[in-house]
Amino acid sequence: MDWRNGLGFTDRLRVIQSLTTAYQQASSASAFTEAQTQARRYETEAYENAVSKEEYDGICQQAIDAAETTSVAPVTSTDELQDAPQESEASDVPVGEKFGQYSSCFHHFDGLHSTIYKAKAADGTVRAVKITIPHLMTAPHDAQREARLLREAHGPHTVSLIETFRLDGGRLVLVFPFLRYDLEHLFRRDMVTATQTRSILRDLFQALAHIHKTGIIHRDIKPSNILMDSPDGPAYLADFGISWKEGDPGSEPSHQKITDVGTTCYRPPEILFGDKSYGTALDLWAAGCVVAEAIGVGHRALFDSGPVGSDLSLIVSIFKTLGTPNEQKWPGAQGLPDWGKVQFYDFPAQVWDDILPGASSNGRDLARQLLCYESSERLTAEEALGHPYFSTC
Protein backbone atom coordinates (compact mmCIF):
# COMPACT_ATOMS: atom_id res chain seq x y z
CA MET A 1 0.00 0.00 0.00
CA ASP A 2 1.27 3.47 -0.88
CA TRP A 3 2.39 5.34 2.28
CA ARG A 4 0.19 8.28 1.24
CA ASN A 5 -2.95 6.27 1.94
CA GLY A 6 -2.12 6.31 5.63
CA LEU A 7 -1.57 10.08 5.77
CA GLY A 8 -4.84 11.80 6.57
CA PHE A 9 -6.01 15.33 5.88
CA THR A 10 -5.51 16.31 9.52
CA ASP A 11 -1.91 15.06 9.45
CA ARG A 12 -1.12 17.10 6.34
CA LEU A 13 -2.85 20.18 7.75
CA ARG A 14 -0.75 19.94 10.91
CA VAL A 15 2.43 19.93 8.80
CA ILE A 16 1.22 22.91 6.79
CA GLN A 17 0.48 24.82 10.01
CA SER A 18 3.99 24.09 11.30
CA LEU A 19 5.57 25.21 8.04
CA THR A 20 3.42 28.35 7.98
CA THR A 21 4.61 29.28 11.47
CA ALA A 22 8.24 28.64 10.50
CA TYR A 23 7.95 30.87 7.43
CA GLN A 24 6.22 33.61 9.43
CA GLN A 25 8.96 33.51 12.05
CA ALA A 26 11.56 33.73 9.30
CA SER A 27 10.24 37.24 8.71
CA SER A 28 7.60 38.47 11.11
CA ALA A 29 6.68 41.16 8.57
CA SER A 30 5.48 38.36 6.28
CA ALA A 31 1.73 38.17 5.84
CA PHE A 32 0.00 35.02 7.04
CA THR A 33 -1.48 34.27 3.62
CA GLU A 34 1.93 34.57 1.97
CA ALA A 35 3.53 32.23 4.53
CA GLN A 36 0.64 29.78 4.26
CA THR A 37 0.85 29.74 0.46
CA GLN A 38 4.58 28.99 0.67
CA ALA A 39 3.91 26.25 3.25
CA ARG A 40 1.20 24.59 1.14
CA ARG A 41 3.47 24.65 -1.92
CA TYR A 42 6.37 23.06 -0.06
CA GLU A 43 4.21 20.43 1.65
CA THR A 44 2.61 19.46 -1.66
CA GLU A 45 6.03 19.00 -3.26
CA ALA A 46 7.15 16.86 -0.32
CA TYR A 47 3.95 14.81 -0.49
CA GLU A 48 4.28 14.21 -4.22
CA ASN A 49 8.03 13.54 -4.33
CA ALA A 50 8.75 11.59 -1.13
CA VAL A 51 8.91 7.81 -1.46
CA SER A 52 8.06 7.14 2.20
CA LYS A 53 6.48 8.75 5.25
CA GLU A 54 9.96 9.01 6.80
CA GLU A 55 11.27 10.92 3.79
CA TYR A 56 8.19 13.18 3.80
CA ASP A 57 8.72 14.01 7.50
CA GLY A 58 12.43 14.59 6.90
CA ILE A 59 11.85 16.98 4.00
CA CYS A 60 9.36 19.05 6.02
CA GLN A 61 11.67 19.11 9.08
CA GLN A 62 14.54 20.32 6.89
CA ALA A 63 12.37 23.22 5.74
CA ILE A 64 11.58 24.18 9.34
CA ASP A 65 15.25 23.99 10.32
CA ALA A 66 16.28 26.05 7.28
CA ALA A 67 13.71 28.75 8.08
CA GLU A 68 15.19 29.14 11.58
CA THR A 69 18.68 29.85 10.25
CA THR A 70 17.64 32.21 7.45
CA SER A 71 15.19 34.45 9.29
CA VAL A 72 15.50 38.21 8.97
CA ALA A 73 14.66 41.04 11.33
CA PRO A 74 11.01 42.09 11.31
CA VAL A 75 9.66 45.45 10.33
CA THR A 76 8.13 46.81 13.54
CA SER A 77 4.98 48.63 12.60
CA THR A 78 3.82 51.92 14.05
CA ASP A 79 0.86 50.07 15.59
CA GLU A 80 3.18 47.66 17.41
CA LEU A 81 5.18 50.52 18.86
CA GLN A 82 2.01 52.27 19.97
CA ASP A 83 0.70 49.05 21.51
CA ALA A 84 3.93 48.38 23.39
CA PRO A 85 3.67 48.55 27.19
CA GLN A 86 4.05 52.25 27.76
CA GLU A 87 1.80 54.97 29.08
CA SER A 88 0.18 57.73 27.08
CA GLU A 89 1.86 60.81 25.64
CA ALA A 90 0.90 62.59 28.84
CA SER A 91 4.09 61.18 30.34
CA ASP A 92 6.05 63.74 28.37
CA VAL A 93 4.60 66.66 30.31
CA PRO A 94 6.08 67.62 33.71
CA VAL A 95 3.26 66.21 35.89
CA GLY A 96 2.83 63.00 37.81
CA GLU A 97 3.82 61.54 41.15
CA LYS A 98 7.16 62.39 42.73
CA PHE A 99 9.54 59.86 44.27
CA GLY A 100 12.91 61.22 45.31
CA GLN A 101 14.51 63.03 42.39
CA TYR A 102 11.91 61.59 39.99
CA SER A 103 9.12 64.15 39.69
CA SER A 104 7.21 62.81 36.68
CA CYS A 105 6.38 59.22 37.57
CA PHE A 106 3.53 57.48 35.76
CA HIS A 107 2.03 54.15 36.74
CA HIS A 108 3.28 51.33 34.52
CA PHE A 109 2.64 47.97 36.22
CA ASP A 110 1.28 46.51 39.46
CA GLY A 111 2.98 43.43 40.87
CA LEU A 112 2.07 41.45 43.96
CA HIS A 113 4.85 43.02 46.02
CA SER A 114 5.67 46.25 44.21
CA THR A 115 4.47 48.90 41.79
CA ILE A 116 6.49 49.99 38.76
CA TYR A 117 6.46 53.58 37.50
CA LYS A 118 7.94 54.98 34.33
CA ALA A 119 9.81 58.20 35.00
CA LYS A 120 12.31 60.60 33.52
CA ALA A 121 15.49 61.43 35.40
CA ALA A 122 16.91 64.94 35.56
CA ASP A 123 19.13 64.20 32.57
CA GLY A 124 16.14 63.11 30.47
CA THR A 125 16.82 59.37 30.55
CA VAL A 126 13.82 57.10 31.12
CA ARG A 127 13.82 54.97 34.26
CA ALA A 128 11.75 52.22 35.80
CA VAL A 129 11.06 53.14 39.42
CA LYS A 130 10.08 50.11 41.52
CA ILE A 131 8.26 50.97 44.76
CA THR A 132 8.23 47.99 47.11
CA ILE A 133 5.44 47.33 49.60
CA PRO A 134 7.05 46.39 52.95
CA HIS A 135 4.07 44.65 54.60
CA LEU A 136 3.73 42.32 51.61
CA MET A 137 7.39 41.28 51.64
CA THR A 138 6.96 37.79 53.06
CA ALA A 139 9.65 35.17 52.46
CA PRO A 140 11.09 34.46 49.97
CA HIS A 141 10.43 38.02 48.78
CA ASP A 142 13.05 40.45 50.10
CA ALA A 143 13.72 43.82 48.45
CA GLN A 144 16.92 44.48 50.40
CA ARG A 145 18.35 41.12 49.38
CA GLU A 146 17.25 41.83 45.80
CA ALA A 147 19.29 45.05 45.80
CA ARG A 148 22.35 43.31 47.28
CA LEU A 149 22.27 40.42 44.82
CA LEU A 150 21.59 42.71 41.86
CA ARG A 151 24.83 44.54 42.64
CA GLU A 152 26.70 41.24 42.86
CA ALA A 153 25.03 39.98 39.68
CA HIS A 154 25.93 43.05 37.63
CA GLY A 155 26.88 41.95 34.13
CA PRO A 156 26.20 42.53 30.42
CA HIS A 157 22.92 40.60 30.48
CA THR A 158 21.50 41.28 33.94
CA VAL A 159 19.36 44.35 34.44
CA SER A 160 21.32 47.25 35.98
CA LEU A 161 20.37 48.61 39.39
CA ILE A 162 20.97 52.35 39.05
CA GLU A 163 20.21 53.39 42.62
CA THR A 164 18.11 52.71 45.69
CA PHE A 165 16.52 55.05 48.23
CA ARG A 166 13.80 54.97 50.87
CA LEU A 167 10.45 56.71 51.13
CA ASP A 168 8.31 57.40 54.17
CA GLY A 169 6.96 54.24 55.72
CA GLY A 170 10.11 52.25 55.00
CA ARG A 171 9.34 51.67 51.32
CA LEU A 172 12.52 50.74 49.48
CA VAL A 173 12.76 52.11 45.94
CA LEU A 174 14.86 50.41 43.27
CA VAL A 175 15.61 52.28 40.04
CA PHE A 176 16.43 50.55 36.74
CA PRO A 177 16.72 51.50 33.08
CA PHE A 178 13.28 51.42 31.49
CA LEU A 179 13.10 48.56 28.98
CA ARG A 180 10.10 48.58 26.69
CA TYR A 181 9.53 44.88 26.06
CA ASP A 182 9.54 41.58 27.87
CA LEU A 183 9.74 38.23 26.12
CA GLU A 184 6.23 37.21 27.10
CA HIS A 185 4.89 40.37 25.43
CA LEU A 186 6.83 39.54 22.25
CA PHE A 187 5.50 35.96 22.27
CA ARG A 188 1.88 37.05 22.59
CA ARG A 189 2.20 39.46 19.66
CA ASP A 190 4.38 37.23 17.47
CA MET A 191 6.93 40.04 17.26
CA VAL A 192 10.14 37.97 17.08
CA THR A 193 11.74 36.01 14.30
CA ALA A 194 13.53 32.72 14.89
CA THR A 195 16.89 34.51 14.69
CA GLN A 196 15.85 37.10 17.26
CA THR A 197 14.46 34.36 19.51
CA ARG A 198 17.76 32.51 19.36
CA SER A 199 19.69 35.69 20.20
CA ILE A 200 17.42 36.48 23.16
CA LEU A 201 17.75 32.94 24.51
CA ARG A 202 21.53 33.13 24.13
CA ASP A 203 21.51 36.31 26.24
CA LEU A 204 19.41 34.50 28.86
CA PHE A 205 21.93 31.66 29.15
CA GLN A 206 24.81 34.13 29.28
CA ALA A 207 23.06 35.85 32.19
CA LEU A 208 22.51 32.50 33.92
CA ALA A 209 26.11 31.42 33.39
CA HIS A 210 27.24 34.70 34.94
CA ILE A 211 25.00 34.68 38.03
CA HIS A 212 25.57 30.97 38.67
CA LYS A 213 29.32 31.59 38.77
CA THR A 214 28.70 34.07 41.57
CA GLY A 215 26.59 31.50 43.46
CA ILE A 216 23.24 33.16 42.81
CA ILE A 217 20.12 31.12 42.01
CA HIS A 218 17.52 33.35 40.36
CA ARG A 219 14.51 31.14 41.26
CA ASP A 220 12.01 32.86 38.94
CA ILE A 221 13.07 32.34 35.33
CA LYS A 222 10.15 33.01 32.97
CA PRO A 223 9.55 35.02 29.77
CA SER A 224 8.21 38.11 31.55
CA ASN A 225 11.50 38.45 33.48
CA ILE A 226 13.54 38.71 30.27
CA LEU A 227 13.58 42.35 29.23
CA MET A 228 14.82 44.28 26.20
CA ASP A 229 14.34 47.65 24.53
CA SER A 230 13.94 46.10 21.07
CA PRO A 231 13.13 42.65 19.66
CA ASP A 232 16.69 42.75 18.33
CA GLY A 233 18.01 42.76 21.90
CA PRO A 234 20.18 42.72 23.83
CA ALA A 235 18.11 40.93 26.46
CA TYR A 236 18.52 41.30 30.22
CA LEU A 237 17.51 39.03 33.09
CA ALA A 238 15.41 40.95 35.63
CA ASP A 239 13.47 40.58 38.90
CA PHE A 240 15.83 39.15 41.51
CA GLY A 241 13.19 39.56 44.23
CA ILE A 242 13.33 35.91 45.36
CA SER A 243 16.92 35.11 44.36
CA TRP A 244 19.20 33.19 46.70
CA LYS A 245 22.90 33.07 47.52
CA GLU A 246 24.64 31.08 50.21
CA GLY A 247 25.97 33.32 52.95
CA ASP A 248 23.75 36.26 52.07
CA PRO A 249 22.13 37.52 55.31
CA GLY A 250 18.66 37.40 53.77
CA SER A 251 18.97 33.92 52.25
CA GLU A 252 17.90 30.65 53.86
CA PRO A 253 20.42 27.94 54.83
CA SER A 254 21.49 25.92 51.79
CA HIS A 255 19.70 22.74 52.93
CA GLN A 256 16.56 24.56 54.09
CA LYS A 257 15.70 26.59 51.00
CA ILE A 258 12.11 27.66 50.49
CA THR A 259 10.34 25.48 47.93
CA ASP A 260 7.57 27.98 47.20
CA VAL A 261 9.62 29.66 44.47
CA GLY A 262 9.28 30.01 40.73
CA THR A 263 6.11 30.68 38.78
CA THR A 264 3.49 28.01 38.11
CA CYS A 265 4.39 26.07 34.95
CA TYR A 266 8.14 26.89 35.14
CA ARG A 267 8.65 25.11 38.48
CA PRO A 268 10.91 22.03 38.35
CA PRO A 269 9.84 18.60 39.61
CA GLU A 270 12.34 18.44 42.48
CA ILE A 271 10.74 21.33 44.38
CA LEU A 272 7.26 19.97 43.64
CA PHE A 273 8.32 16.97 45.76
CA GLY A 274 9.86 19.01 48.57
CA ASP A 275 13.59 19.23 47.74
CA LYS A 276 15.07 21.99 49.93
CA SER A 277 18.67 21.43 48.81
CA TYR A 278 18.16 22.37 45.16
CA GLY A 279 20.84 24.22 43.23
CA THR A 280 21.28 26.19 40.04
CA ALA A 281 19.72 23.36 38.02
CA LEU A 282 16.38 24.75 39.21
CA ASP A 283 16.98 27.73 36.91
CA LEU A 284 17.96 25.46 34.04
CA TRP A 285 14.66 23.55 34.16
CA ALA A 286 12.77 26.85 34.01
CA ALA A 287 15.05 27.99 31.17
CA GLY A 288 14.22 24.75 29.34
CA CYS A 289 10.53 25.60 29.69
CA VAL A 290 11.25 29.05 28.22
CA VAL A 291 13.14 27.46 25.30
CA ALA A 292 10.23 25.11 24.60
CA GLU A 293 7.77 28.00 24.69
CA ALA A 294 10.02 30.11 22.46
CA ILE A 295 10.47 27.54 19.70
CA GLY A 296 7.04 25.92 19.87
CA VAL A 297 4.23 26.69 17.45
CA GLY A 298 1.99 29.30 19.08
CA HIS A 299 4.45 29.95 21.94
CA ARG A 300 2.34 28.03 24.44
CA ALA A 301 3.71 27.01 27.83
CA LEU A 302 4.93 23.41 27.68
CA PHE A 303 3.38 22.33 31.01
CA ASP A 304 0.01 23.21 32.49
CA SER A 305 -0.54 23.94 36.17
CA GLY A 306 -4.28 24.34 35.77
CA PRO A 307 -6.50 27.39 36.29
CA VAL A 308 -5.36 27.98 39.89
CA GLY A 309 -1.69 27.04 39.57
CA SER A 310 -1.94 23.68 41.32
CA ASP A 311 1.27 21.73 42.04
CA LEU A 312 -0.62 18.47 41.53
CA SER A 313 -1.91 19.60 38.13
CA LEU A 314 1.61 20.61 37.14
CA ILE A 315 3.06 17.25 38.21
CA VAL A 316 0.46 15.39 36.17
CA SER A 317 1.15 17.62 33.16
CA ILE A 318 4.90 16.97 33.40
CA PHE A 319 4.36 13.22 33.79
CA LYS A 320 1.94 13.10 30.84
CA THR A 321 4.56 14.82 28.68
CA LEU A 322 7.87 13.32 29.81
CA GLY A 323 6.50 10.08 31.23
CA THR A 324 6.01 9.06 34.86
CA PRO A 325 9.56 8.63 36.19
CA ASN A 326 10.86 5.47 37.83
CA GLU A 327 14.05 4.80 39.80
CA GLN A 328 16.09 4.42 36.63
CA LYS A 329 14.82 7.62 35.05
CA TRP A 330 14.97 9.71 38.25
CA PRO A 331 17.20 8.04 40.86
CA GLY A 332 17.18 11.08 43.11
CA ALA A 333 13.41 11.06 43.51
CA GLN A 334 13.50 8.35 46.17
CA GLY A 335 15.18 10.73 48.62
CA LEU A 336 12.71 13.60 48.18
CA PRO A 337 10.48 14.35 51.19
CA ASP A 338 7.18 14.16 49.32
CA TRP A 339 7.98 11.39 46.85
CA GLY A 340 5.65 8.39 47.14
CA LYS A 341 2.91 10.22 49.03
CA VAL A 342 0.65 10.15 45.97
CA GLN A 343 0.34 7.30 43.50
CA PHE A 344 0.39 8.50 39.89
CA TYR A 345 -0.78 6.77 36.76
CA ASP A 346 2.13 5.31 34.78
CA PHE A 347 2.11 7.67 31.80
CA PRO A 348 4.38 6.76 28.86
CA ALA A 349 6.88 9.38 27.70
CA GLN A 350 5.97 11.24 24.53
CA VAL A 351 8.61 11.51 21.81
CA TRP A 352 10.03 15.01 21.43
CA ASP A 353 8.85 15.28 17.81
CA ASP A 354 5.31 15.09 19.24
CA ILE A 355 6.03 17.27 22.28
CA LEU A 356 7.26 20.15 20.10
CA PRO A 357 5.89 19.55 16.61
CA GLY A 358 7.02 22.07 14.05
CA ALA A 359 10.04 23.18 16.12
CA SER A 360 13.58 23.10 14.78
CA SER A 361 15.64 19.97 15.44
CA ASN A 362 18.34 21.86 17.34
CA GLY A 363 15.85 23.82 19.41
CA ARG A 364 13.97 20.68 20.33
CA ASP A 365 17.20 18.95 21.38
CA LEU A 366 18.21 21.91 23.56
CA ALA A 367 14.88 21.76 25.39
CA ARG A 368 15.23 17.98 25.80
CA GLN A 369 18.66 18.29 27.43
CA LEU A 370 17.41 20.91 29.89
CA LEU A 371 14.13 19.23 30.85
CA CYS A 372 15.58 16.18 32.60
CA TYR A 373 14.09 14.78 35.81
CA GLU A 374 17.53 14.17 37.31
CA SER A 375 18.83 17.70 37.93
CA SER A 376 22.48 16.65 37.61
CA GLU A 377 21.82 15.55 34.02
CA ARG A 378 20.56 18.96 32.88
CA LEU A 379 22.88 21.11 30.82
CA THR A 380 24.55 23.90 32.73
CA ALA A 381 24.14 27.41 31.35
CA GLU A 382 27.65 27.30 29.91
CA GLU A 383 26.99 23.92 28.30
CA ALA A 384 23.75 25.24 26.82
CA LEU A 385 25.66 28.10 25.19
CA GLY A 386 27.79 25.50 23.40
CA HIS A 387 24.74 23.68 22.02
CA PRO A 388 24.36 23.60 18.19
CA TYR A 389 21.16 25.66 18.51
CA PHE A 390 23.33 28.71 19.20
CA SER A 391 26.01 27.96 16.60
CA THR A 392 24.63 30.49 14.12
CA CYS A 393 24.20 33.34 16.64
Q: Which residues are catalytic?
A: 220
* Coil, strand or helix at 216: strand
Strands of the sheet with 126-132, listed across from one edge: 97-99, 102-110, 114-120, 126-132, 172-177, 163-166
Distances (CA, A) of 177 to 12, 116, 207, 216, 229: 47, 12, 17, 22, 10
Q: In the Cβ-directed half-sphere of 106, how many Cα atoms lie within 13 Å?
A: 15
* Coil, strand or helix at 304: coil
Q: Where are the beta strands (DSSP E) in the chain?
A: 97-99, 102-110, 114-120, 126-132, 163-166, 172-177, 181-182, 216-217, 226-228, 236-237, 244-245
CA–CA separation, 192 and 190 (whole Å): 6
∠ CA 300-392-221 to the nearest 5 degrees? 40
